[in-house]
Chains A and B, each alone.
Chain A
Amino acid sequence: MISRAERSVFADWWWTVDRWLLAAIGLLVVLGIVLTMAGSPPVAERLGLSTFYFVHHQVMFLVPSLCLLLATSFLQPRDVRRAGLVVFLGGMALIGAALVFGHEVKGARRWIFGVQPSEFVKPAFVILAAWAFSEGARRRDVPGNLIALLLLPLTIVPLILQPDFGQTMLISLVWAALFFMAGLHWFWVGGIGGMGAVSVFVAYKLVPHVRDRILHFLDPSNGPGATDTFQVDTAVESFVSGGWLGKGPGEGTVKRVLPDAHTDFIFAVTGEEFGLLFCMFLAGIFAFIVLRGLLLSSRNDDPFCRFATAGLVTLFGIQSCINMSVNLHLMPAKGMTLPFISYGGSSMISLALAMGFLVAVTRKRPRAAVIDPVPYRRGEEPDGALGAGAP
């Protein structure tokens, strides 16, 4: 069935996907279930649910997620772009609907129809931005860079209104990374970096809870009351109590008092039950996916695939880094899930979509299929007036 001689769709897929990437993602999915079993029972018990409620739900979400991942990975780059556009528009419509009709959960309007549309917007945003950047860098007749420039405010303004500063930050960072990759002049790299610093400063000055978090991170003692550092303190305590090799699966005790042990703080539970060495292994898997993705990106000749790959792994990598850093008290508390490990339906499906896109755009393709007939390519323009090598 997967012979090279008969070019079935599946055989084509099998011989062109990056199996290292696929294997690493598969490993993460399996570890996700194992670690949800460790992190979620105390939370489920606290909420009065059955002990393995979250594990069951995670597995239930996993089936459609894996189907989605595989199905998406069969797409051709052109279809990936189309899918990205559809998901983006749908997601933005749902975010708008959530802002108007959604009910408030923990001070934010993020949920509608039981999903968190901002999760789906993330990979779709990356695809669209990659599309715009690749077109902008390749062709003169499409104002790609301008579109890429406008895409950011279009996406993050509704997110700020929710408010959801975690996703806003994530999307802005990925966007900045893509722009950086697109060969942006260092002048702008400095400028955008400065803008980022300014916006963090403005958020610090104007949004009280951002200020509280940062002040609290810098000096935990000046916060109001002793309970505020409880979450990160407990997280660090669970790493320490786990030691190098951990207490063993199900033997954790700090996890009983750790809030969000099944979502944002599952890394700390991992540390307690499976040990620091295992945590380093887990971080290693994330690093492997990110670096493998960047390597594949740099080898790819198709600009869109190149941008999309880099953008998707950057999204994945930044999210994992932020989550682990918060768990380890390397940065202020910021609600962010650990990809594939944390419990969460919307997050899981969004990740499956993102990884499906990633596998799709990293597939090996014959060079002939990459070169599209486009009117003008940079450097080949008749006059070269705007070309890179101009006087």
Chain B
Amino acid sequence: MTGSPDPRADRPRPAPGLFAKARVFVRDVCTTRLDKSGFRLRLLGLAFLCVYGLIDGKLIKLGLSKEAPAGLKAAASDAVSGARPELLDRNGGVLAQDIKTMSVFAEPRRLIDKDEAVELLTAVLPDVDATDLRKRLGSRKGFVWVKRGVTDKQQQEVFRLGLPGVGFLPENKRIYPNGPVGAHVLGFTNTDNQGIAGIEKWVDNQGLGDLKGAGFDVTPQDLKPISLSLDTKATFAVRDELLKGMARFHPQAASGAIMDVNTGEMIAYVSLPDYDPNNPVDALKPDHINRLNVGTYEMGSTFKAISIAMALELNKVTLKSTVDTTGNLRYGRATIHDYEKINRPQTIPEVFIHSSNIGTAKMVMMVGVDGHKTFLRKMGELTRLQTELPETASPQIPPHWGVLNSMTIAFGQGLNVTPLQAIMAVGALANGGYLITPTFLKRDGDARDEAKRVVRPEVSEDLRYLMRLNATLGSAKKANVPGYFAGGKTGTADKLINGHYAKNRVNTTFMSVVPADHPKYLFFVMMEDPQAAEGTYGFHTAAWNSGDVCGKIMERVAPLLNLPPNLNLPTDPFPAVAKLGIGMDTVLR
């Protein structure tokens, strides 16, 4: 711009109209005016005055508020362990509860002589590490724990030391009166009484942690006890029998469970070796994992029940159909053998009680790979099983699932699932065809109404018939405990070691259903690498070890579960099967 006068000034001015007004407005809008600044400055000053007034107002409001300042208790409130609800078993017995203990703390800033304090405190509390305590007291923190959970006597002794800056706070400590019984279900808590495994962690995830985080002081009385599905007596008995079985067959590990097939409740649940939740250090040892829910295994012949149920459900076979098991089954470079070789066509019941690999593989091939996968997915075998227990494992599924995979998975090799998944599936086959997610909480009444149907009731009856038949004539004779109309299935899977199936190393499982006509409970026992023992004639297959232990468990636990022995066998246990003209002894040729 130059300083010359605006050329527009020479033009005749337009008459003051709308256009001119607009022009004036635009020009006003586009220029700033210094003469306004005085007024604007006063406005600015007023605005500042308002803001400072607001700040003073808030200060006055805070001064008038009556909130009492929180003292040491607030500072330590994060550290003090909160209360937890009691855990009860299905009959109201205590599985876990809080007790009040006193804990010793120190305020390092207030301690006069830290070395003297360390000396005196470790004299009274010998299990406190002196160098560690000296280090903690030397820190600049305002609050440190000396020892959590001291006895009354120790508290008195510390009190008599008369150390300034050392005090006591009441805390909650979790105790498990039954020790290791039910340990893997209960989980455990840390020193701050927070659940970090099992149902204890589940409880925290249900909102207990949020309550505490929001500053609510929770006392044990405020919290409703939580009833679990476990039966303490049954769990104790299962654990006891498994321990005896371990002493006899020397497996690396053993586990056992009892499920109510109609409600999905886990009545007993044991995985050995286990730990005492009162001393959770043990729980962290790698071989103390929860094998039923975290371990994945090839389930062996137990899977044949699923394969046969699939063929029956999809109407590929009936109980009267036959499958030729002559010779060995070749597929590509692989050959499938039978443990008990029968060179002729067998009926479906025969395939089941002779545990024919060839027969089940052929049945699965009638369905095809895709149908097989779909059915296994429907049975919950291909997805991670979510129960209340936070510790779970995903099944290990072959990445490239071909025909050969289906043929081996038919008899339980080549697909690793958690035992709990297999229990759920077999439970569904037995209870009339309802897949019920296992639960560790007590359930009121039947769960079948809401459950998803996976097989027809007739297929379920066929399977119960097959399992009963297997208990009377087949490999599951150990399950035929007198007085209980039990059915069962053995499973022996070759153990995979370093990518190869090891000779003579097996995992054995045994499942039995009681009573087979109107099933109530499913018993499960698994042993990892059991050895032949005295009286097993050198065998280490499932019937000799897992089956044996399972039979003993049934005999001992069934009466505890209100199932008295009844020597009169039911007269018409399987009406639909009877209509086909098949009885308990007429199937075998």
Contact = CB atoms under 8 A, between A and B. Distances in A.
Kindly state the interface size class of chain B when it binds its partner: 35 or more
By secondary structure, the A interface counts as helix
Contacts of A226: 213-214
A383 B6 CA distance: 8
Contacts of A30: none
Contacts, number: 141
Interface string B31-59: 11111111011111100110110111011
A28 interface: no
Given A237-B69, A239-B59, A385-B9, A375 B32 contact: no
Interface stretch (B21-29, B237-245, B472-480): B21-29
Contacts of A137: 32-34
B229 to A, nearest CB: 33
Contacts of A145: 31-32
A244 interface: yes
Kindly state the interface size class of chain A when it binds its partner: 35 or more
Interface stretch (B60-68, B126-134, B367-375, B379-387): B60-68
Contacts of A317: 48
Given A181-B40, A298-B41, A383-B9, A256 B34 contact: no
Contacts of A256: 142
Given A188-B29, A257-B75, A303-B34, A298 B42 contact: yes
Nearest to A237: B69
Given A236-B62, A239-B62, A297-B41, A376 B3 contact: yes
A79 interface: no
A137 B32 CA distance: 6
B188 to A, nearest CB: 24
B3 A180 contact: no
A314 B45 CA distance: 9
A130 to B, nearest CB: 11
Contacts of A294: 41-42, 44-45, 48
Interface string A275-316: 010011001101100110011011000010010001000100
B108 to A, nearest CB: 12
B38 to A, nearest CB: 5
A311 to B, nearest CB: 10
Contacts of A187: 29
B58 A328 contact: yes
Nearest to A286: B52
B55 A141 contact: no
A334 interface: no
Contact of A385 (B2, B6, B45, B62): B6
B52 A180 contact: no
Given A226-B214, A306-B37, A133 B62 contact: no
B503 interface: no
A203 to B, nearest CB: 22
B1 A140 contact: yes
Interface in A148-200: 177, 179-185, 187-188
B5 interface: yes
By secondary structure, the B interface counts as helix
A143 B13 CA distance: 26
A240 B62 contact: yes
A386 interface: yes
Given A239-B59, A383-B5, A386-B6, A183 B32 contact: yes
Contact of B27 (A241, A375, A390): A390
Nearest to B52: A287
Nearest to B65: A240
Contacts of A391: 13, 16, 20, 24
A187 B2 CA distance: 28
Contact of B55 (A46, A184, A328): A328
Contact of B44 (A181, A244, A280): A181
Contacts of A385: 5-6, 8-9
B140 interface: yes
A290 B48 contact: yes
Contact of A182 (B3, B8, B37): B37
Nearest to B70: A237
Interface string B139-181: 0101000000000000000000000000000000000000000
Point out which of A133, A183, A324, A330 has the most chain B C-beta atoms below 10 A from its C-beta.
Answer: A183
Contacts of B54: 325, 330
Contacts of A321: 48, 51-52, 55
Among all A-B residue pairs, the 9 with the closest Cβ atoms: A183-B33, A183-B36, A241-B69, A385-B6, A182-B32, A287-B52, A137-B34, A294-B45, A328-B58
